[in-house]
Structure 1
Amino acid sequence: MEESEKIDIELIKNIKLFEDIQAQKNIFLNLFTEIANQFSQSILIQAFVNSKGTKVSQGINLENCPYQVLDIFRDFDRNNGYNIRILNWWGHGLYILIQFGKNTAENHKTDIEIKFKEFNVGLASNAYDYKEILSSNQTLDSINLINHIKEFDGLLIFNKIPYNQSVENLKFDLLEKIKFILDK
Protein backbone atom coordinates (compact mmCIF):
# COMPACT_ATOMS: atom_id res chain seq x y z
CA MET A 1 0.00 0.00 0.00
CA GLU A 2 1.33 3.39 -0.97
CA GLU A 3 1.82 6.17 1.57
CA SER A 4 -0.95 8.31 0.00
CA GLU A 5 -3.42 5.41 0.32
CA LYS A 6 -2.54 5.05 4.04
CA ILE A 7 -3.15 8.77 4.55
CA ASP A 8 -6.51 8.55 2.75
CA ILE A 9 -7.63 5.63 4.94
CA GLU A 10 -6.61 7.48 8.11
CA LEU A 11 -8.40 10.60 6.91
CA ILE A 12 -11.61 8.63 6.28
CA LYS A 13 -11.38 7.07 9.77
CA ASN A 14 -10.86 10.51 11.33
CA ILE A 15 -13.79 12.00 9.44
CA LYS A 16 -16.03 9.15 10.60
CA LEU A 17 -14.88 9.65 14.21
CA PHE A 18 -15.53 13.40 13.95
CA GLU A 19 -19.03 12.74 12.53
CA ASP A 20 -19.76 10.30 15.38
CA ILE A 21 -18.63 12.85 17.97
CA GLN A 22 -20.77 15.55 16.31
CA ALA A 23 -23.83 13.28 16.32
CA GLN A 24 -23.30 12.43 20.00
CA LYS A 25 -22.79 16.12 20.83
CA ASN A 26 -26.04 17.05 19.12
CA ILE A 27 -27.94 14.36 21.02
CA PHE A 28 -26.81 15.86 24.32
CA LEU A 29 -27.35 19.47 23.28
CA ASN A 30 -30.92 18.63 22.25
CA LEU A 31 -31.48 16.57 25.40
CA PHE A 32 -30.17 19.35 27.66
CA THR A 33 -32.27 21.95 25.84
CA GLU A 34 -35.42 19.85 26.27
CA ILE A 35 -34.67 19.45 29.98
CA ALA A 36 -33.91 23.16 30.43
CA ASN A 37 -37.24 24.03 28.83
CA GLN A 38 -39.00 22.03 31.56
CA PHE A 39 -37.88 24.53 34.23
CA SER A 40 -39.26 28.02 33.83
CA GLN A 41 -37.72 30.85 35.81
CA SER A 42 -40.80 30.98 38.06
CA ILE A 43 -40.26 27.32 39.00
CA LEU A 44 -36.57 27.90 39.63
CA ILE A 45 -37.14 30.99 41.79
CA GLN A 46 -39.41 28.94 44.04
CA ALA A 47 -36.48 26.58 44.66
CA PHE A 48 -33.73 29.22 44.79
CA VAL A 49 -34.62 32.91 44.90
CA ASN A 50 -31.36 34.06 43.23
CA SER A 51 -31.79 31.81 40.21
CA LYS A 52 -30.53 33.22 36.91
CA GLY A 53 -32.32 30.53 34.90
CA THR A 54 -30.89 27.72 32.81
CA LYS A 55 -28.19 27.64 30.18
CA VAL A 56 -26.99 25.00 27.75
CA SER A 57 -23.41 25.36 26.56
CA GLN A 58 -20.65 23.36 24.96
CA GLY A 59 -16.95 23.34 24.38
CA ILE A 60 -14.38 21.39 22.46
CA ASN A 61 -11.43 21.23 24.81
CA LEU A 62 -11.92 20.04 28.35
CA GLU A 63 -8.74 18.02 28.89
CA ASN A 64 -8.67 17.62 25.08
CA CYS A 65 -12.25 16.33 24.86
CA PRO A 66 -15.55 17.94 23.84
CA TYR A 67 -18.25 18.53 26.44
CA GLN A 68 -21.82 19.72 26.83
CA VAL A 69 -23.28 21.39 29.92
CA LEU A 70 -26.69 22.20 31.33
CA ASP A 71 -26.60 24.70 34.20
CA ILE A 72 -29.62 25.28 36.42
CA PHE A 73 -29.75 28.34 38.72
CA ARG A 74 -26.38 29.63 37.42
CA ASP A 75 -25.41 31.41 40.65
CA PHE A 76 -21.70 30.76 41.15
CA ASP A 77 -21.20 33.18 44.04
CA ARG A 78 -18.55 31.69 46.37
CA ASN A 79 -20.59 32.63 49.45
CA ASN A 80 -24.29 32.39 48.61
CA GLY A 81 -24.37 30.64 45.25
CA TYR A 82 -26.08 27.46 44.15
CA ASN A 83 -25.85 25.66 40.83
CA ILE A 84 -26.85 22.32 39.39
CA ARG A 85 -24.70 21.26 36.46
CA ILE A 86 -25.16 18.30 34.18
CA LEU A 87 -21.91 17.61 32.37
CA ASN A 88 -21.47 15.24 29.46
CA TRP A 89 -17.74 14.91 28.95
CA TRP A 90 -16.77 12.85 25.93
CA GLY A 91 -14.73 9.82 27.01
CA HIS A 92 -15.17 10.58 30.72
CA GLY A 93 -18.88 10.23 31.41
CA LEU A 94 -22.10 11.95 32.29
CA TYR A 95 -22.32 13.65 35.69
CA ILE A 96 -24.64 15.73 37.78
CA LEU A 97 -22.74 18.21 39.94
CA ILE A 98 -24.14 20.47 42.63
CA GLN A 99 -22.18 23.51 43.71
CA PHE A 100 -23.03 25.37 46.93
CA GLY A 101 -21.45 28.63 48.04
CA LYS A 102 -19.96 28.59 51.54
CA ASN A 103 -22.94 30.21 53.31
CA THR A 104 -25.46 28.20 51.30
CA ALA A 105 -23.69 24.98 52.29
CA GLU A 106 -23.33 26.05 55.93
CA ASN A 107 -27.00 27.03 56.19
CA HIS A 108 -28.23 23.75 54.69
CA LYS A 109 -25.57 21.24 55.75
CA THR A 110 -27.94 18.95 57.67
CA ASP A 111 -30.33 18.76 54.71
CA ILE A 112 -27.44 18.31 52.29
CA GLU A 113 -25.96 15.47 54.33
CA ILE A 114 -29.26 13.61 54.50
CA LYS A 115 -30.45 14.25 50.95
CA PHE A 116 -27.19 13.72 49.06
CA LYS A 117 -25.61 10.83 50.95
CA GLU A 118 -25.14 8.92 47.69
CA PHE A 119 -23.13 11.74 46.11
CA ASN A 120 -19.36 12.03 46.11
CA VAL A 121 -17.49 15.08 47.36
CA GLY A 122 -15.42 16.81 44.68
CA LEU A 123 -11.99 17.34 46.16
CA ALA A 124 -10.45 20.19 44.20
CA SER A 125 -9.66 23.78 45.04
CA ASN A 126 -10.89 24.88 41.60
CA ALA A 127 -14.60 24.23 41.01
CA TYR A 128 -13.90 23.71 37.29
CA ASP A 129 -11.01 21.23 37.58
CA TYR A 130 -13.23 18.35 36.54
CA LYS A 131 -10.42 15.85 36.18
CA GLU A 132 -9.53 16.35 39.84
CA ILE A 133 -13.12 16.72 41.06
CA LEU A 134 -14.42 13.59 39.37
CA SER A 135 -11.50 11.44 40.49
CA SER A 136 -12.85 11.47 44.05
CA ASN A 137 -14.57 8.37 45.34
CA GLN A 138 -15.24 9.91 48.75
CA THR A 139 -18.94 9.63 49.56
CA LEU A 140 -20.56 12.57 51.31
CA ASP A 141 -20.81 12.24 55.10
CA SER A 142 -20.97 14.66 58.03
CA ILE A 143 -17.20 14.78 58.55
CA ASN A 144 -16.11 15.39 54.96
CA LEU A 145 -19.04 17.78 54.47
CA ILE A 146 -17.78 20.08 57.22
CA ASN A 147 -14.13 19.66 56.18
CA HIS A 148 -14.92 20.37 52.54
CA ILE A 149 -16.82 23.56 53.35
CA LYS A 150 -13.92 24.81 55.49
CA GLU A 151 -11.14 23.80 53.13
CA PHE A 152 -12.73 24.86 49.84
CA ASP A 153 -15.00 27.74 50.96
CA GLY A 154 -18.06 25.94 49.64
CA LEU A 155 -19.20 22.51 48.61
CA LEU A 156 -19.15 20.63 45.33
CA ILE A 157 -20.77 17.19 45.16
CA PHE A 158 -21.38 14.94 42.18
CA ASN A 159 -22.92 11.72 40.99
CA LYS A 160 -22.09 9.73 37.85
CA ILE A 161 -25.00 8.84 35.61
CA PRO A 162 -24.79 5.69 33.45
CA TYR A 163 -25.19 5.98 29.69
CA ASN A 164 -26.58 2.48 29.27
CA GLN A 165 -30.12 3.55 28.43
CA SER A 166 -32.12 5.15 25.64
CA VAL A 167 -32.16 8.93 25.25
CA GLU A 168 -35.79 9.02 26.43
CA ASN A 169 -34.96 7.01 29.55
CA LEU A 170 -31.92 9.18 30.18
CA LYS A 171 -34.09 12.28 29.88
CA PHE A 172 -36.57 10.82 32.35
CA ASP A 173 -33.79 9.91 34.81
CA LEU A 174 -32.18 13.35 34.58
CA LEU A 175 -35.52 15.09 35.08
CA GLU A 176 -36.20 12.91 38.13
CA LYS A 177 -32.77 13.71 39.59
CA ILE A 178 -33.27 17.43 39.05
CA LYS A 179 -36.75 17.34 40.60
CA PHE A 180 -35.30 15.42 43.56
CA ILE A 181 -32.65 18.12 44.01
CA LEU A 182 -35.21 20.93 43.73
CA ASP A 183 -37.63 19.29 46.16
CA LYS A 184 -37.25 20.77 49.62
Structure 2
Amino acid sequence: MLKTLHEILERCEKTGARLAYPGEGGERRFRGWLVSDLLAKTLGWHTDNIVVGERFDILLQDESGFPIITIETKMPYHKATAKEHADFEERLSGYGTLHTAYFTNGAEWEQLEILAPAGVQEIQSRSVLRLESATPEEAEAFFAPPDAQTAAAIINLVTQLTKTKAGAEAERLEKKLSQITGPLLTA
Protein backbone atom coordinates (compact mmCIF):
# COMPACT_ATOMS: atom_id res chain seq x y z
CA MET A 1 0.00 0.00 0.00
CA LEU A 2 2.76 2.44 0.92
CA LYS A 3 4.50 1.60 -2.35
CA THR A 4 1.30 2.41 -4.27
CA LEU A 5 0.97 5.79 -2.52
CA HIS A 6 4.58 6.68 -3.36
CA GLU A 7 4.07 5.59 -6.99
CA ILE A 8 0.96 7.79 -7.27
CA LEU A 9 2.87 10.82 -5.96
CA GLU A 10 5.77 10.16 -8.34
CA ARG A 11 3.36 9.87 -11.26
CA CYS A 12 1.73 13.17 -10.24
CA GLU A 13 5.12 14.90 -10.19
CA LYS A 14 6.24 13.48 -13.56
CA THR A 15 2.94 14.19 -15.27
CA GLY A 16 2.76 17.69 -13.80
CA ALA A 17 6.24 18.47 -15.13
CA ARG A 18 5.40 17.14 -18.61
CA LEU A 19 1.94 18.68 -18.88
CA ALA A 20 2.54 21.95 -17.07
CA TYR A 21 -0.43 23.85 -18.46
CA PRO A 22 -1.35 27.10 -16.65
CA GLY A 23 -4.33 26.66 -14.34
CA GLU A 24 -4.29 22.87 -14.56
CA GLY A 25 -3.53 21.66 -11.06
CA GLY A 26 -2.71 18.14 -10.06
CA GLU A 27 -5.60 17.43 -7.69
CA ARG A 28 -7.88 15.77 -10.25
CA ARG A 29 -5.09 13.53 -11.55
CA PHE A 30 -4.15 12.64 -7.99
CA ARG A 31 -7.78 11.84 -7.13
CA GLY A 32 -8.18 9.70 -10.24
CA TRP A 33 -5.09 7.63 -9.47
CA LEU A 34 -6.19 7.21 -5.86
CA VAL A 35 -9.43 5.71 -7.14
CA SER A 36 -7.88 3.47 -9.80
CA ASP A 37 -4.59 2.45 -8.21
CA LEU A 38 -5.12 2.62 -4.44
CA LEU A 39 -8.81 2.03 -3.85
CA ALA A 40 -9.72 -0.34 -6.68
CA LYS A 41 -6.47 -2.21 -7.39
CA THR A 42 -4.66 -2.21 -4.05
CA LEU A 43 -7.49 -2.12 -1.49
CA GLY A 44 -10.02 -4.02 -3.61
CA TRP A 45 -12.94 -1.59 -3.48
CA HIS A 46 -15.46 -2.43 -6.18
CA THR A 47 -15.78 0.52 -8.55
CA ASP A 48 -19.59 0.46 -8.16
CA ASN A 49 -19.03 1.48 -4.53
CA ILE A 50 -16.70 4.41 -5.32
CA VAL A 51 -18.28 7.78 -6.10
CA VAL A 52 -16.18 10.75 -7.25
CA GLY A 53 -17.76 14.16 -6.75
CA GLU A 54 -17.14 17.81 -5.94
CA ARG A 55 -18.28 18.56 -2.37
CA PHE A 56 -17.25 15.04 -1.35
CA ASP A 57 -14.20 14.29 -3.51
CA ILE A 58 -14.38 10.52 -3.01
CA LEU A 59 -17.14 8.59 -1.25
CA LEU A 60 -16.87 4.88 -0.51
CA GLN A 61 -20.20 3.11 -0.08
CA ASP A 62 -21.14 -0.04 1.78
CA GLU A 63 -23.03 -2.94 0.16
CA SER A 64 -26.33 -1.08 0.64
CA GLY A 65 -25.06 2.07 -1.07
CA PHE A 66 -24.62 4.15 2.09
CA PRO A 67 -21.52 6.40 2.22
CA ILE A 68 -19.23 5.12 4.99
CA ILE A 69 -15.86 6.69 4.11
CA THR A 70 -14.95 9.97 2.45
CA ILE A 71 -11.60 11.18 1.16
CA GLU A 72 -10.95 14.89 0.69
CA THR A 73 -8.09 15.39 -1.75
CA LYS A 74 -5.85 18.38 -2.23
CA MET A 75 -3.15 18.92 -4.82
CA PRO A 76 -0.12 16.81 -3.88
CA TYR A 77 2.03 18.47 -1.20
CA HIS A 78 -0.44 21.39 -0.85
CA LYS A 79 -0.35 22.85 2.67
CA ALA A 80 -4.01 23.07 3.60
CA THR A 81 -5.31 26.07 5.52
CA ALA A 82 -7.29 25.90 8.74
CA LYS A 83 -10.32 27.07 6.73
CA GLU A 84 -9.98 24.16 4.28
CA HIS A 85 -9.90 21.74 7.21
CA ALA A 86 -12.88 23.43 8.90
CA ASP A 87 -14.93 23.44 5.68
CA PHE A 88 -14.22 19.74 5.21
CA GLU A 89 -15.25 18.88 8.77
CA GLU A 90 -18.48 20.89 8.42
CA ARG A 91 -19.47 18.84 5.36
CA LEU A 92 -19.10 15.55 7.22
CA SER A 93 -22.55 15.90 8.76
CA GLY A 94 -23.98 15.72 5.23
CA TYR A 95 -24.01 11.93 5.50
CA GLY A 96 -24.94 10.45 8.86
CA THR A 97 -23.60 7.06 7.79
CA LEU A 98 -19.97 8.19 7.48
CA HIS A 99 -17.67 6.60 10.03
CA THR A 100 -14.24 7.49 8.62
CA ALA A 101 -12.97 10.57 6.81
CA TYR A 102 -9.55 11.23 5.28
CA PHE A 103 -8.02 14.59 4.36
CA THR A 104 -4.93 14.28 2.18
CA ASN A 105 -2.40 16.01 -0.01
CA GLY A 106 -0.84 12.65 -0.82
CA ALA A 107 2.22 13.06 1.36
CA GLU A 108 0.18 13.47 4.54
CA TRP A 109 -3.08 11.76 5.45
CA GLU A 110 -5.31 12.82 8.33
CA GLN A 111 -7.85 10.25 9.47
CA LEU A 112 -10.98 11.20 11.41
CA GLU A 113 -13.08 8.53 13.12
CA ILE A 114 -16.68 9.72 13.35
CA LEU A 115 -19.54 8.70 15.63
CA ALA A 116 -23.09 10.07 15.69
CA PRO A 117 -24.76 8.43 18.72
CA ALA A 118 -27.58 10.96 19.10
CA GLY A 119 -27.81 12.23 15.54
CA VAL A 120 -25.03 14.74 16.15
CA GLN A 121 -21.81 13.82 14.43
CA GLU A 122 -18.69 13.88 16.59
CA ILE A 123 -15.09 13.32 15.61
CA GLN A 124 -13.92 10.63 18.03
CA SER A 125 -10.26 10.50 17.05
CA ARG A 126 -7.68 11.96 14.72
CA SER A 127 -4.53 10.36 13.43
CA VAL A 128 -1.96 11.34 10.82
CA LEU A 129 0.18 9.28 8.45
CA ARG A 130 3.22 10.95 6.88
CA LEU A 131 4.53 9.00 3.91
CA GLU A 132 8.14 10.14 4.32
CA SER A 133 8.40 8.47 7.74
CA ALA A 134 5.78 5.69 7.57
CA THR A 135 6.59 2.01 7.45
CA PRO A 136 4.53 -0.33 5.27
CA GLU A 137 3.02 -1.82 8.45
CA GLU A 138 1.96 1.61 9.71
CA ALA A 139 0.31 2.38 6.36
CA GLU A 140 -1.55 -0.96 6.41
CA ALA A 141 -2.79 -0.33 9.95
CA PHE A 142 -3.78 3.26 9.13
CA PHE A 143 -6.07 2.21 6.27
CA ALA A 144 -7.32 -1.05 7.82
CA PRO A 145 -11.07 -1.25 8.36
CA PRO A 146 -12.25 -1.87 11.91
CA ASP A 147 -12.80 -5.46 12.92
CA ALA A 148 -16.20 -6.47 11.52
CA GLN A 149 -17.38 -7.95 14.80
CA THR A 150 -16.38 -4.85 16.75
CA ALA A 151 -18.03 -2.62 14.15
CA ALA A 152 -21.27 -4.63 14.39
CA ALA A 153 -21.24 -4.32 18.20
CA ILE A 154 -20.69 -0.56 17.97
CA ILE A 155 -23.50 -0.12 15.44
CA ASN A 156 -25.86 -2.19 17.60
CA LEU A 157 -25.07 -0.16 20.73
CA VAL A 158 -25.35 3.17 18.93
CA THR A 159 -28.73 2.10 17.50
CA GLN A 160 -29.96 1.13 20.97
CA LEU A 161 -28.58 4.32 22.46
CA THR A 162 -30.34 6.57 19.94
CA LYS A 163 -33.66 4.89 20.82
CA THR A 164 -33.14 5.19 24.58
CA LYS A 165 -34.14 8.22 26.62
CA ALA A 166 -31.74 9.69 29.17
CA GLY A 167 -31.41 7.73 32.38
CA ALA A 168 -29.86 4.58 33.76
CA GLU A 169 -30.31 2.52 30.58
CA ALA A 170 -28.70 5.25 28.43
CA GLU A 171 -25.78 5.49 30.88
CA ARG A 172 -25.34 1.71 30.81
CA LEU A 173 -25.27 1.67 27.00
CA GLU A 174 -22.85 4.63 26.87
CA LYS A 175 -20.51 2.86 29.31
CA LYS A 176 -20.63 -0.35 27.26
CA LEU A 177 -19.99 1.62 24.06
CA SER A 178 -16.98 3.40 25.58
CA GLN A 179 -15.57 0.04 26.72
CA ILE A 180 -15.67 -1.20 23.13
CA THR A 181 -14.51 1.97 21.41
CA GLY A 182 -11.92 2.99 24.02
CA PRO A 183 -9.23 0.56 22.80
CA LEU A 184 -9.98 1.46 19.18
CA LEU A 185 -9.58 5.16 19.83
CA THR A 186 -6.31 4.81 21.71
CA ALA A 187 -4.72 2.30 19.34
More strand by share: 1
Which TM-score applies when normalising by structure 2? 0.34
Which TM-score applies when normalising by structure 1? 0.35
